[in-house]
Amino acid sequence: LLHQVFAHIEKADDLPSALERLSFEGVFESEEQKQQIQGLAHWALQHPAVKDWFSGTWELYNECAIVYTDEQGQMQTRRPDRVMRKDGQVVVVDFKFGKPNKKYNKQVQGYMQLLVRMGYVAENIRGYLWYVEENNIEPV
């Protein structure tokens, strides 16, 4: 549920409207669950780096598909959770809700490599794993 909430907000101020939209769509089982998710989201958005990411100052690509051709010539699609651009910098963030895992690092590295293939400068791309429940941000 938290993943859905973060996918629906551009900036922290969007949290109430995102919760209402998801509530209207029947995503929450109860008002209590909605309140719990709201508290967790509000808490997670207090992390200094996260505050910047959800400040509204970035050009945002939320759950945007990256289409590419793999080594076998097959069309593939990848969807990073959040890609942001500002002042020549590109930041890729993937939300995680479990224990750290090395495959998650490879996943974000793959997104970063795709951005290089799209013409972005590698030195200007940063990637992060955001373990939301622990509010821990791991650079990739």
With pLDDT > 90 as the criterion, what percentage of the chain qualifies?
Answer: 80
Beta-bridge partner residues of 125: 90
Amino acid occupying residue 128? Y
Q: Helix or strand or coil: residue 126?
A: strand
Digit-coded pLDDT (tens) for 15-67: 999 999 999 999 999 999 999 999 999 999 999 999 999 999 999 987 788 88
Q: What pLDDT does 1 receive? A: 86
